[in-house]
Amino acid sequence: MNTALNHMAKLQMPSIVSKSLPKTWITWAVFFFFCAAVFGLAMRYFFIGEVPFFEYKHLLHAHSHVALLGWGYLLVAGLLTFSYVRSPHRLKIYKKILILTIIANLGMMMSFPFQGYGGFSIAFSTMHLVMSYVFAYFFFQDLKKSPSNTAKNLIKLSIIWMLISSIGLWAIAPIGATLGRLHPLYFMSVQWFLHFQLNGWFVYAFLGLLLAYMETKGNFVIIGQKTLFALHLSLFLTYALSVAWSTPIIGLLYLNGLGVLLQVIAYFIILKPIIRHLYNIHTFSKIWINSMLWIGIISLLAKALIQATLILPDVANIAYTIRNYVIGFVHLVMLGAITFGLGALALKNKWLSNSSLSKTAWILLSIGFISSELLLLVQGTLLWAKLGFISHYHLLIFVSSSFFPIGLSIMLIAQWTSFPLFQKSPNPIHIQQNQHKSKNTETMKSTVLMSFGIFVILLMASCSGGSSENQGSYTPPSAQKEKIADPKGIGEIKEVNLGDGIDQVLAEKGKAILDMKCTACHQYDAKRIVGPGFEGVTNRRRPEWIMNMITNVDAMLDEDPIAQQLLEECLTRMPNQNISLDESRQILEYFRKNDRERTGGSDAALN
């Protein structure tokens, strides 16, 4: 009898190993999601209070890298691995890849908040990039063993888009060294990476995994070659909008318009049989996990429909000049389609805990996501319509964002308690099996302890490496001889008559324009968010320079040394908001009023 039990345990051992690694993998993904949510919440707090020790842009880099490469990458890579890799021997390879990827993510998580782009953060980002290549190499080998179908083809392409996206990262250094960080190619390289990550790697993987899920239910969806060609072509054409951000050429907006139309058609054709299948399952709406999947699918459709409005050049211009829309769009993909869509598939496979505690966590996440998206899009629309701000907007968006770390902390508890160590043995026959489970739990504990040790080392290194303001920042050699800055800037404004007092009507008009187009990146006080604060600007810059910077953005950023220095500091190119000369004069008048109220005087730069 004992011999038979031992033999049964040996037979079951591979499946136990297979169940342990997926949960460990996805748990780490949730942990990085939690960290990214904390960084995001801290960024929201910058608008309502003081955040000591940290710079906004450093937290922004930490939030984006950990969310994209910690949560997003690990979730997608994990679902792909455990959907297509069955061999325990091969899974051991992926376990090693996971450990090294975790180290890279911990390194980014600990270095970016303290130093932004610096030696440590770049090193760990490069390490993550190399590990993604290693993952792609082994996964391609395993994917070949699966029968060819539409799901497999989309997943294969998702990996290819991930690899193609990395071209943008490798291009950044040589472009920065030869052309400078202010050159449009520099920004195009960054946008290349982000575009093919979000719309290629993540979206294709989501569509492929949805179709693979359909296959497990006996529904094989065949997508025609014309539809797939339209999907691929739309991916490249919609990159034109990202290029237009740094290189405003009207023809790019028309290319983007064609791309978004093809994208809507392709998404509709691919998702239609999936939606029909889900709709026909009467129990679908009664299972909370399926509700999460619906949020993911609806988010992807919303992304396509919102992008479809960009066929109009004026609307396309608004899409990348109003920051609320930009953030809301990125969150539709990352939080909507990827988090809820792929999260639901992980729940269905029990790689994520589906306990009642986990249900509470996901409900909190859905509340945070829906409320924050509504606030972002409604506020963006109000700014576009020149109707000002929602009352207590920044406080409301902070509260809605707080649902993420709260929900994710509960999810981590639910996930941790779902490991075998916390499970009761239902039958004495499973004693041998539980011993193997304990070994797997010990393996995870040792991985956690090792990662924690690395975490502490990175914390000490990052703190010591981030003490200098300029440490870790790279300033490429100038492509031109150093220029002497014209205090009046570059543009058609050569002289401004200010008068003695403040024109209150003019100033109020200026504030309305600032509220609509500028306050997502700038604050009225001296606090730096994405760009520098407005306080004291008329005491630092001549009125002609201010108005030229507002109305002649691209030329100023390309030629004016002061504007270039600010761009080097902020690493975010100011978009051309198409502000008229009269509107720029109104903005200047409000700057004068703001400086008098906050600093006791204005126009000191004239002296």
Q: Which pLDDT band holds residue 76 (cuts at 50, 70, 90)? A: very high
Please count the CA atoms within 13 angstroms of the CA of 125 that sit on its side-chain side: 18
Structural contact between residues 531 and 521, judged by C-beta atoms closer than 8 angstroms: yes
Residues 187 and 246: their CA atoms lie apart, in Å, by 7
Rg, Å, the chain Cα set = 26
Please count the CA atoms within 13 angstroms of the CA of 467 that sit on its side-chain side: 5
Residue 239 pLDDT exceeds 70: yes
State the first-to-last Cα distance of the chain, in angstroms, to the nearest integer.
98
Buried b (16+ CB within 10 A) or exposed e, 316-347: bbbbbbbbbbbbbbbbbbbbbbbbbbbbbbbb
Pick from 139, 202, 144: which is nearest to 339 by CA? 202
Write the DSSP assignment of 547-607 as a string of letters.
Answer: HHHHH-HHHHHHH-HHHHHHHHHH-SPPP-----HHHHHHHHHHHHHHHHHHHS---GGG-
Residue 180 pLDDT exceeds 80: no
Structural contact between residues 550 and 578, judged by C-beta atoms closer than 8 angstroms: no
Structural contact between residues 212 and 141, judged by C-beta atoms closer than 8 angstroms: no
Residue 4 pLDDT: 36
Residue 391 pLDDT exceeds 80: yes
Residues 296 and 343: their CA atoms lie apart, in Å, by 9
- Locate all alpha helices (DSSP H) within 281-392, ordered by sequence: 288-308, 313-321, 323-331, 343-348, 356-384
Pick from 355, 347, 384, 375: which is nearest to 512 by CA? 384
Residues 533 and 598: their CA atoms lie apart, in Å, by 12
Q: Which pLDDT band holds residue 32 (cuts at 50, 70, 90)? A: very high
Residue 13 pLDDT: 33
Residue 111 pLDDT: 95
The helix/strand/coil state of 499 is: coil
Residue 476 pLDDT exceeds 50: no
Q: Averaged over 473-485, what is the pLDDT? A: 47
Write the DSSP assignment of 248-266 as a string of letters.
Answer: --HHHHHHHHHHHHHHHHH
- Whole-Å CA distances, 417 to 3, 142, 153, 327, 413: 32, 31, 37, 34, 6
The more confidently predicted of residues 542 and 571 is 542
The helix/strand/coil state of 107 is: helix
Residues 362 and 368: their CA atoms lie apart, in Å, by 10
Q: How many CB atoms lie within 10 A of CB 19?
A: 17
Structural contact between residues 254 and 316, judged by C-beta atoms closer than 8 angstroms: no
Residue 459's H or E segment, with its range, is helix 431-465
Residues 544 and 552: their CA atoms lie apart, in Å, by 11
Per-residue DSSP letter, 310: G
The residues near 335 (Cβ < 8 Å, ≥ 6 apart) are 299, 369, 373
Residue 459 pLDDT: 46
The helix/strand/coil state of 315 is: helix
The residues near 181 (Cβ < 8 Å, ≥ 6 apart) are 474, 475, 476, 567, 568, 571
Structural contact between residues 396 and 375, judged by C-beta atoms closer than 8 angstroms: yes
The more confidently predicted of residues 280 and 480 is 280
CA angle at 425 for the pair 419 and 430, rounded to the nearest 5° = 105
The residues near 272 (Cβ < 8 Å, ≥ 6 apart) are none
Domains, the chain: 16-146+440-470 (no CATH), 149-352 (no CATH), 504-606 (1.10.760.10)
Structural contact between residues 458 and 120, judged by C-beta atoms closer than 8 angstroms: yes
The residues near 590 (Cβ < 8 Å, ≥ 6 apart) are 506, 507, 508, 509, 510, 511, 514
The more confidently predicted of residues 100 and 314 is 100
Instruction: State percent of the chain over pLDDT 90.
Output: 43
Q: Which pLDDT band holds residue 306 (cuts at 50, 70, 90)? A: confident
Per-residue DSSP letter, 471: T
Please count the CA atoms within 13 angstroms of the CA of 572 that sit on its side-chain side: 19
Chain mean pLDDT for the chain: 82
Q: Which pLDDT band holds residue 474 (cuts at 50, 70, 90)? A: very low
Structural contact between residues 458 and 106, judged by C-beta atoms closer than 8 angstroms: yes
Pick from 86, 82, 300: which is nearest to 206 by CA? 300
CA angle at 478 for the pair 473 and 481, rounded to the nearest 5° = 145
Residue 423 pLDDT: 54
The helix/strand/coil state of 223 is: coil
Residue 109 falls in which region: left (phi positive, over 0), alpha (psi -120 to 50) or beta: alpha
Length reported for the chain = 607
- What pLDDT, in 10s, does the model give residues 320-355? 667 788 888 899 999 999 999 999 999 999 999 999
Instruction: State percent of the chain over pLDDT 70.
Output: 82
Q: Of the ranges 7-11, 147-151, 219-223, which is most confident? A: 147-151
Pick from 126, 176, 118: which is nearest to 471 by CA? 118
- Residue owning tokens 């409000």: 590
Pick from 538, 539, 545: which is nearest to 490 by CA? 545
